[in-house]
Structure 1
Amino acid sequence: MNVEEFREFCLSLGDVTEKMPFGKFAARYDSILAFYVSGHMFCFIDINDFNYVDVKSTPERIEEFRRDYTSVGNPINQSLRHWIKLYFNGDIPLSVITDSVRNAYGIIKAKYAPKPRRKP
């Protein structure tokens, strides 16, 4: 998978937008592309160094990744409880990485989706 294929995959999930928001904090983050649903980030990549994806996750799943794989790291945003870095060319199958991105999308979508209105 290359950057464009990954980008198309994320955008295909539905109602996804993309931004490069981190350059305003430091020039070294100019190449970070973040994907959003419901206005909230669910994953991001470095388009100049496409070796990993940082994904939103649950603490339990993050613990599983750290236990089961060596190709994990700390996310750029350093939110270690809810984010994890997954490396593409290591021991994590691509299908597990894409499932993790879908899961991250689902976490955000469920949390921030508009609530149905109650009937009076």
Structure 2
Amino acid sequence: MHIEAFREYCIAKKGVTEGFPFGADVLVFKVMNKMFALTALDRLPPQVNLKCDPERAIALRETYDGYIIPGYHMSKHNWNTIYLQQVPSILIRELIDHSYNLIVAGLPKKTRQALEDLE
């Protein structure tokens, strides 16, 4: 998956905004102001960080050894760094959905309702 496709998939999700809170080279995606994905635009090969269930994170790291690793500059328990061009695009989309859904599930009920009410 190319970084442009990653961005397009993330930004198309309901309630998502993008920005550069950590500087001009780190693109962050948030749902209802909570981060679920980020990428350092200057890193080659392209890499992204996504939140992940801890048990699933370990299994993914074992299966994609060297291509899915503990989150770079993130909580190693809850975040993975994924090399975009070495992991199948279908899995990357699934992991974006997983990260997004984890964040949404953790939102306060009122915020989740506001997300559902968005068109």
**TM-score > 0.5 by shorter chain:** yes
| Structure 1 position 74 matched with structure 2 position 66 | no
**TM-fit CA distance, 1:47:** 2.0
Moved more, 58-67 or 72-81: 72-81
Q: 2: distance between equivalents of 1:42 and 1:85?
A: 12
The residue identity in structure 2 corresponding to 1:81 is H
Moved more, 98-107 or 67-76: 67-76
- TM-score scaled to structure 1, two decimals? 0.81
**TM-fit CA distance, 1:51:** 1.1
- Bigger Rg, structure 1 or 2: 1
Q: Which residue of 2 aligns with 1:27?
A: none
Q: Which residue of 1 aligns with 2:29?
A: 35
- Tell me if structure 1 keeps the 8 A contact 2:28–2:37: yes
| Structure 1 position 13 matched with structure 2 position 9 | no
Aligned residues: 109
The residue identity in structure 2 corresponding to 1:32 is V
| Aligned-CA RMSD value | 1.7
| Structure 1 position 59 matched with structure 2 position 26 | no
- TM-score scaled to structure 2, two decimals? 0.81
**TM-fit CA distance, 1:78:** 2.9
Where does structure 2 lack aligned partners over 5 or more consecutive residues?
A: 114-119
**TM-fit CA distance, 1:72:** 1.6
Q: 2: distance between equivalents of 1:48 and 1:77?
A: 15
- Tell me if structure 1 keeps the 8 A contact 2:61–2:70: no
Listed as ranges, the matches of 1:63-102 within 5 Å are: 63-70=58-65, 71-90=67-86, 92-102=87-97
Q: Percent identity?
A: 30
Where does structure 1 lack aligned partners over 5 or more consecutive residues?
A: 24-29
